[in-house]
């Protein structure tokens, strides 16, 4: 492989424009070789802005380009699995937005394809690469907060920002607010709190065949609990996210990061003073950095398809729980 990695980007929506394109442009070891997008107007604008060499309107035609080393998939959810499989079969390494598939079976089938090849498949868990999340992970592992007992997290979007297009089509999105918002919250919440979920209870409010809000309650085998709430019908001017973590020796909050610890019966603020600003923007720089390292050394230390599969099982159980109105145990 050339010293510079040549990237083919498929899908140039908000995630690509805010997350991927600025990072690729800033790195000397990456070249945006091509973009693939059916909307010609978007392609024309971005081609001029980022000096993109090649543009495609047909995905398979882009994959046939031998100059492209890796593919970044930032398309509607229902295209993730088939596009990732095709890219791997054409010999490309893949960084794919979440979810990797519309359900756990799709993710598992994609994983089998990746495992039987010599290609790198990385799930875009960008929330895990936020600097504040990484700081909190280190503090949890250090034992500063004691034994974790409960956590709650949420993403509540303003009614003014209600999704349109494919996100409101269950056949293309795989679901509503849970797949659009909940999977991203669960991506870093389970990274901090653990994947060993014992059972799931969920309840949704459904409108137009998909849920516009919902709550997921995860129970762990050791007595811990994680509560997730999401929705896109909040009657506020803007949306907000939060993550609150409670341990026997301290508590931690995100957005912004705040950590308090109990010492000598007094509350002590142990929040680091050097927290980088703009954690979401930084997360994409860190995500791409890890992906590039994995491509160069041909090894993926984490964020492969296995974690995406475990997360998909939780999401599947949440939909089953809401439909059957009962607790669902995970195997």
Predicted confidence at residue 303, as pLDDT, reads 65
Q: Which residues contact 237 (CB under 8 A, 6 or more apart)?
A: 158, 160
Mean pLDDT, rounded, for 251-278: 92
Position 2 confidence tier, pLDDT thresholds 50, 70, 90: low
Mean model confidence pLDDT for the chain: 93
Mean pLDDT computed over 53-64: 94
Whether the per-residue pLDDT at 147 is higher than 80: the answer is: yes
Q: Is the pLDDT of residue 1 over 60?
A: no
Task: Say whether pLDDT at 166 is over 90.
Answer: no
Residue 62 Cα to chain centre, angstroms = 25
Higher local confidence (pLDDT), 28 or 303: 28
Give me the pLDDT at residue 18, please.
92
DSSP assignment of 99-142 equals PSSSSHHHHHHHHHHHHTSS--EEE--GGGG-HHHHHHHHHHHH
Provide, rounded to the nearest whole percent, the portion of the chain with pLDDT above 70.
98
Does residue 275 have a pLDDT over 90? no
The number of CA neighbours under 13 Å toward the Cβ of 229 is: 13
Reported as a single tens digit per residue, the pLDDT across 61-102 is 999 999 999 999 999 999 999 999 999 999 999 999 999 999
Residue 265 has pLDDT above 90, yes or no: no
Ordered by where they begin, the domains of the chain are: 5-127+283-302 (3.40.50.720), 128-274+311-329 (3.30.360.10)
Q: Tell me, what's the pLDDT at 46?
A: 85
- pLDDT, mean of residues 275-295: 94
Return d(Cα 94, Cα 34) in angstroms, integer.
14
């Amino acid at each position: 492989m050339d010293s510079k990695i040549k990237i083919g980007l498929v899908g140039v929506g908000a995630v690509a424009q805010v997350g991927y394109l600025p990072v690729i442009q800033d790195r000397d070891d990456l070249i945006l070789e091509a973009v693939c997008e059916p909307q010609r107007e978007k392609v024309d604008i971005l081609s001029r802005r980022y000096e993109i060499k090649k543009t495609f309107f047909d995905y398979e035609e882009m994959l046939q380009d031998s100059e492209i080393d890796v593919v970044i998939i930032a398309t509607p959810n229902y295209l993730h699995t088939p596009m990732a499989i095709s890219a791997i079969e054409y010999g490309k390494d893949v960084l794919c937005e979440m979810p990797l598939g519309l359900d756990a079976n799709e993710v598992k089938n994609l994983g089998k394809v990746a495992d039987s090849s010599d290609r790198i498949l990385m799930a875009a868990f960008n929330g895990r690469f936020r600097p504040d999340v990484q700081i909190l992970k280190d503090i949890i592992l250090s034992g500063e907060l004691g034994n974790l007992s409960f956590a709650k997290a949420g993403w509540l979007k303003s009614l003014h920002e209600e999704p349109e297009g494919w996100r409101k089509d269950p056949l293309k999105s795989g679901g509503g607010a849970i797949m659009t918002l909940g999977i991203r919250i669960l991506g870093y919440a389970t990274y901090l709190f653990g994947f060993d979920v014992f059972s799931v209870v969920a309840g949704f409010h459904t409108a137009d065949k998909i849920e516009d809000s919902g709550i997921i309650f995860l129970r762990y085998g050791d007595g811990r609990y994680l509560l997730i709430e999401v929705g896109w019908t909040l009657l506020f001017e803007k949306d907000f996210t939060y993550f609150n973590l409670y341990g026997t020796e301290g508590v931690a909050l995100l957005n912004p990061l705040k950590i308090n610890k109990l010492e000598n019966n007094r509350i002590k603020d142990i929040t680091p003073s050097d927290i980088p600003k703009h954690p979401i923007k930084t997360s994409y720089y860190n995500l791409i950095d890890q992906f590039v390292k994995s491509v160069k050394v041909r090894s993926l230390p984490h964020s492969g398809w296995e974690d995406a599969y475990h997360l998909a099982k939780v999401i599947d159980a949440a939909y089953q729980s809401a439909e059957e109105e009962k607790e669902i145990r995970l195997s």
